[in-house]
Structure 1
């Protein structure tokens, strides 16, 4: 169980980051400045 835990956390973090990035992009779609702030 322990060896698969870091992998699970890493996948969760990656998914959370992708979701936040997607939400951030969709929220600031009308702001061109947001794209250069990446």
Structure 2
């Protein structure tokens, strides 16, 4: 169970880093979508 939670948490962090690092992705998404992660 713990490893599963960690896996998804890690995936979320990777996605956040990707979005944070890509201005085109940020411009293409509404702020509400980013807040809802």
- The answer to whether 1:21 aligns with 2:7 is no
Structure with bigger helix share is: 2
Task: Compare CA radii of gyration and give the structure with the larger one.
Answer: 1
**TM-score of the superposition, structure 1-length normalised?**
0.59
TM-score with structure 2 setting the length: 0.61
- CA-atom RMSD in angstroms: 2.1
- Moved >6 Å (runs of 4+): none
Structure 2 unaligned runs (5+)? none
